[in-house]
Amino acid sequence: MSKETAAIENRTEDMDRTILVPIDDSEQSREAVAVAATDFNDAKLIVVRILKPFVVMSVTESAVWDDEFMNRRKREAEQLLEDYRELATEYGADVRTELVRGAPIRSIISISDEFDIDHIVMGCTKKRSISRLFLRLFTNRTLGFTPVSASVTVVCPTN
């Protein structure tokens, strides 16, 4: 093998792709993890759950926002990440999970830089409810700020 061929092989080995999949507890996120694990089966998946900060002044009852509430949210997020780790592993994916606190769009951009992300896969829906409209708007806004390429998996209504 020539030096030139060896150098090319070494570069391609170093060019492992890393795919970011931001998740929540939704059918859209499950689909995004499944698509990332199957369509990018040679890549390492970073599945991230972002806990949004709260605006304390908007809370009507301060007791709701105590340490126990925050700890419960963290435990729920950790369990969700473990569920998604198992899902991705079922597809044979190399997966790492991360729990991050912060503003979602800023966190996605920060994680993209920190882990040298090559591509982002996000879930979206065609449902017409108000909550799903906000999900579509969030997905579109996030994609406008991402420093890397991105894919959106669309989950169609079943009814």
CB 80 within 8 A of CB 26: no
Per-residue pLDDT tens digits for 85-110: 999 999 999 999 999 998 888 888 89
Residue 35, domain CATH: 3.40.50.620
Domain count, the chain: 1
Q: What confidence score (pLDDT) does residue 12 get? A: 35
CA dist list (Å): 114 to 17, 32, 46, 91, 104: 14, 21, 11, 25, 15
62 inside domain: yes
21 inside domain: yes
115 inside domain: yes
Q: What is the mean pLDDT of residues 38-64?
A: 76
Q: What confidence score (pLDDT) does residue 141 get? A: 57
106 inside domain: yes
6 inside domain: no
- Comparison of pLDDT for 37 and 131, the residue scoring more: 37
State the Cα–Cα distance between residues 10 and 4, nearest whole angstrom.
Answer: 10
Q: What is the mean pLDDT of residues 34-58?
A: 85
State the Cα–Cα distance between residues 144 and 53, nearest whole angstrom.
Answer: 22
Q: What confidence score (pLDDT) does residue 65 get? A: 57
Q: What is the mean pLDDT of residues 6-35?
A: 73
State the Cα–Cα distance between residues 9 and 12, nearest whole angstrom.
Answer: 5
7 inside domain: no
CA dist list (Å): 30 to 16, 23, 74: 23, 8, 19
Alpha helices in 2-129 (DSSP H): 3-14, 27-39, 67-90, 104-114
Domain span at residue 103 reads: 16-155
State the Cα–Cα distance between residues 140 and 124, nearest whole angstrom.
Answer: 9
Q: What confidence score (pLDDT) does residue 109 get? A: 87
Judged on CB neighbours under 10 Å (0-12, 13-18, 19+), 19 is buried
Instruction: Write down the pTM of the prediction.
Output: 0.73
